[in-house]
Structure 1
Amino acid sequence: MATTNDLRNGLVLNIDGQLWQVVEFQHVKPGKGPAFVRTKIKNVLSGKTVDRTFNAGLKIDTATVDRRDMQFSYRDGEDFVFMDLKSYEQTYVPAATVGDAAAYMLEGQDVIVAFHDDDVLFVELPAAVVLTVSHTEPGLQGDRSSAGTKPATLETGAEIQVPLFLNEGDRVKVDTRSGAYISRVSD
């Protein structure tokens, strides 16, 4: 049990038997009336995001979430297999639970897997990953009709927009939260 003063980003709450993760929060003290906490919370299982307001000092039920450092080993049918870096145990995670993170995962990549009562809640990638461009059309000098970007397919199969000067085989840094190109990486 915690209070609204203990809220922080990433905290998982147990509200009406469902698990919700705090995405954003703001303590508000209006000139008139009692203080309150305005939050944006995301349902851990469905991904639905809602805004919720709590009175300041209200007791809230938190969920125990165990975040483990794991490594993505391989894909087995519809499941992704992760290995615990401490115990070397393998965990099978359904593709629906991995979600959009699958587009930026390579075998051997370190990730964080969140558990609640031995059930996998979600897979968390680093903020940025380095991937190789497997296919893209050659950029034409002077072609600025698409604001200087072109589509590119990465080695994981994900498609992103990259600058015109990039070619097949180039390594790029990609933001895993938005899927946006960050920079070219030179080896």
Structure 2
Amino acid sequence: MAKMQANQMRAGMVIEFEGQRYTIIRQNIMIPGKGNAIIQVDMRNIKTGSKKDQRWRTADVVERLETSDEEFTFSYAEGDNIILMHPETYEQTTVPKDILGDRLPFLVENMTVQVRMIEGEPVAMTLPEQVTLEVVEADPVVKGQTASSSYKPAVLSNGVKTMVPPFVTQGDRIVVKTEDASYVERAKG
């Protein structure tokens, strides 16, 4: 932890405030007609995700936390945890599953993930933007439906439902976005 003046806060920094950790979303310096400048900060609680507006005077001191983004390889899931391995040291790190929220099903074996660490503790995890999965169920195309018309429902090998173009059939491997399971393209090769 390092102390810094409130006017040095920038978006993306992590601070400790009232015993909680917050990511700075945005900060504005407001200069009233009289008196000292005020720093208006929008921040998000790392644990709860709730937003908070906070004001500081420029001379106020805040605790800045050291953050680092590290790459890990996903090994396996165990109970409520995800077990990650550091690709160089082979050390294992345990992360709670809920760090991924509804993106959890897109975590596949040996996937490389980015983990944001604060003071050595994992607080957030980023998956690759896209992942290739097999279509295990796809509705047949309705007669008279044109190729350009609406997508049809399908179920992926990770159990997630998505919408695919009419030409995609069961057994196809497709590329989807991990953010929202949306169809990108048919997998090549």
The answer to whether TM tops 0.5 is yes
Structure 2 CA distance for partners of 1:6 and 1:151, relative to 1, 3 Å: same
Match of 2:11 in 1: 8
The match for 2:161 is 159
RMSD: 3.0
Greater C-alpha radius of gyration = 2
Name which of 153, 174, 177 aligns with 1:174. 177
Q: Secondary structure, in 3 states, of the residue corresponding to 1:85?
A: coil
Tell which deviates more after alignment, 103-112 or 26-35: 26-35
Q: Secondary structure at the match of 2:85?
A: strand
Taking structure 1 as the reference length, the TM-score comes to 0.75
Distance, in Å, in 2 between the alignment partners of 1:51 and 1:180 is 30
Identity within the alignment, %: 21
**Does the CA-based 8 Å contact 2:44-2:51 persist in structure 1?**
yes
**Shift in alpha-carbon separation, 1:157–1:117, aligned structure 2, 3 A:** same
Q: Which runs of 5+ in 2 are unaligned?
A: none
The CA distance in 2 between the partners of 1:92 and 1:123, in whole Å, is 12
What's the TM-score once normalised by structure 2's chain length?
A: 0.75
What is the CA distance between 1:69 and its match in structure 2? 0.7
User: What is aligned with 1:90?
Assistant: 92
What secondary structure sits across from 1:69 in the alignment?
Answer: strand
User: 1:151, 1:162 within 8 Å by CA — same for their partners in 2?
Assistant: yes
Match of 1:116 among 94, 115, 118: 118
Q: CA deviation at 1:104?
A: 1.4
Secondary structure in 2 aligned to 1:45? coil
